[in-house]
Structure 1
Amino acid sequence: MNTAKRLRHSPVGGYARGEETRHRIIEAAVELFGEHGFEGASTREIAARAGVNAPALQYYFENKEGVYRACVEALADDALKTFGPAIEHAQQVVRENADTATLIDAYLRIQDVMADRTFEKANKPGRRMFFAREQAGYEPESATQILACKIREPLNDASAALLARITGRAANDPLTLIRSFSLHGQLVIFHVAHRSTLSMLGWKNIDAEKAEQLKSAVRDQTRTLLEHWSRERDEALAAAATPTIPAASKARSRKRS
């Protein structure tokens, strides 16, 4: 897949206008790729929705693959701005060997950011479908590679590192990863099964009040599980530290008594 062309600079304000045009094309393309998929969306439709002529789209991106890659890069960069501080905080508390309460709070902070992004996309059908198609494997594989490198791997690594400290298991232990995926899955369901979840709840959309209700419920469930797993860790450590009396010694002790 070709990399999108670098925007040319103009000595008299052309760069700013060019960036605005480029952004408008990307926004239109995200909507159309979401609605029709990569194969179904045409460059002519994208240009028309963005309010530019077809040659302008070719000027900035060369071809449809260039437009699609620019969309993925823009969405990944936007997500990183949101997730970046929570990921950095998670990495910091792990490095500092923070106490369990701080580790749990850091995990919940990541989940709160995930919730905000999930419910934001839920109210933007084009973006939601763009990601849904990519996750389903229907779109160019390079999109998954870009998103994995820029946001998914750092996010999953930070979550697993926190969970490893909370539970006492290794970060790459399959159970650690399964637990982390399942905790985040509480939010993903509202993204991938948007229509059915709203229907079952009797909601038309997820406004600010409903989003907070969902976040609060997921936060409470996650905290309960994390605290339970941390107690299991402590119990296992305590059991390992308790000296065991050999069976022969126990038998001699009973005879003497």
Structure 2
Amino acid sequence: MSTEKTSPPHHGRPRAERGDVTREKLLLAAIDVFGRRGFDGTTTRTLAHAAGVNLQAIPYYFGGKQGLYIAAAEHIGSLIASHTADVRERAHARLKEAEDQGVAIGPDEARRLLTSILQRMAALFVGRESETWVRFLIREQMEPTEAFRRVYAGVMGPMLGLLGRLVATLLDEDPRSEHVRLRTLSLAGSVLVFRVAHAAVLAHLEWQTVGPREIEVVGALAAELAATIGMGASR
């Protein structure tokens, strides 16, 4: 049984395709609505209305509001992962190749790889596409639930771990050390602040909006930040 509202343009679609469309609508609506209202402040009726689907679609596809909430968090994780996949895979491949050869990558290469990841993060999180994702994730940062654990395990933790290996190379330290982890968090936060503190960023920089020029500026800052890691700094 189709759970979408009847719409003439959908009549010719296969049932599986209609189901995928309904699921995607619910996930996107859930990310936005949960981010604005929180889990407790959101009803299934509100979610269904925002997605433009029948109320029964939520239990049908996700088992209920809790299932949709978890799925929305995982969807955010998959979107972030897909946007950063190529730069992460390139860095992982080089680190593995160096490890297999028994020769660590040099600081110049580590810095280039680190810069490419930071610039991709800057383009992703400074742009408007990530606005609803970050609103959702900020709530989870304040009061973590299973949704946060899923996102952290799926994308946040691995991303920080990869950045940490590159930072450790530049600092010539153990990537598991507290100091390297602190430097890694500080570095990532220096980019993420442009989304998390978006209103303050606009006010302080006197930007009216964030467009291609502003994204380029933040990307240049990301490269500058990467360039400072390990450059004559002492603990």
Q: TM-score, with normalisation over the residues of structure 2?
A: 0.85
**Structure 1 segment 164-175 matched on structure 2, within 5 A:** 164-175=168-179
For residues 216 and 132 of structure 2, the distance between their equivalents in structure 1, rounded to whole angstroms, comes to: 23
**Structure 1 segment 136-151 matched on structure 2, within 5 A:** 136-137=142-143, 141-151=145-155
> Could you say what secondary structure the match of 2:40 adopts?
helix
Aligned to 2:165: 161
Aligned to 1:132: 138
Q: Which runs of 5+ in 1 are unaligned?
A: 1-11, 234-257
Q: TM-score, with normalisation over the residues of structure 1?
A: 0.78
2:136 partner amino acid? F
For residues 83 and 111 of structure 1, the distance between their equivalents in structure 2, rounded to whole angstroms, comes to: 10
For residues 133 and 181 of structure 2, the distance between their equivalents in structure 1, rounded to whole angstroms, comes to: 27
Aligned partners of 2:163 and 2:184 also within 8 Å: yes
Indicate whether 1:106 and 2:106 are aligned. no
User: Does the C-alpha gap of structure 1 residues 213 and 188 become closer, same or farther in structure 2, counting only changes over 3 Å?
Assistant: same
Aligned to 2:89: 88
Q: How far off its partner does 1:124 sit?
A: 5.2
Alpha-carbon RMSD: 1.9
Q: Give a deviation string over 1:28-67, Cα, whole Å, max 9, x none.
A: 1111011111111111011011111211222111211011
Aligned to 1:64: 65
Aligned to 2:78: 77
Aligned to 2:4: none
Q: How far off its partner does 1:201 sit?
A: 1.3
Q: Give a deviation string over 1:150-203, Cα, whole Å, max 9, x none.
A: 101111111111111221110011111111111112112112211112111122
For residues 128 and 183 of structure 1, the distance between their equivalents in structure 2, rounded to whole angstroms, comes to: 18
For these two proteins, the number of residue pairs brought into alignment is 217
Indicate whether 1:152 and 2:159 are aligned. no
Aligned to 2:6: none
> Could you say what secondary structure the match of 1:54 adopts?
coil
For residues 94 and 132 of structure 2, the distance between their equivalents in structure 1, rounded to whole angstroms, comes to: 36
Q: What percentage of aligned pairs have identical amino acids?
A: 25
Aligned to 1:212: 216
Out of 215-224 and 14-23, give the one that drifted further: 215-224
Aligned partners of 1:134 and 1:144 also within 8 Å: yes
Aligned partners of 1:35 and 1:130 also within 8 Å: yes
User: Does the C-alpha gap of structure 1 residues 124 and 183 become closer, same or farther in structure 2, counting only changes over 3 Å?
Assistant: closer
Out of 187, 193, 203, which is 1:183 matched to? Answer: 187
Out of 110, 114, 124, which is 1:117 matched to? Answer: 124
Aligned partners of 1:104 and 1:223 also within 8 Å: yes
Runs of 4+, deviation exceeding 6 Å: none
For residues 66 and 139 of structure 2, the distance between their equivalents in structure 1, rounded to whole angstroms, comes to: 16
Q: Give a deviation string over 1:192-224, Cα, whole Å, max 9, x none.
A: 211112111122321111111121123113213
For residues 20 and 71 of structure 1, the distance between their equivalents in structure 2, rounded to whole angstroms, comes to: 15
For residues 120 and 66 of structure 2, the distance between their equivalents in structure 1, rounded to whole angstroms, comes to: 30
Q: How far off its partner does 1:19 sit?
A: 0.2
Aligned partners of 1:94 and 1:165 also within 8 Å: no
Aligned partners of 1:123 and 1:206 also within 8 Å: no
Aligned partners of 1:26 and 1:70 also within 8 Å: yes
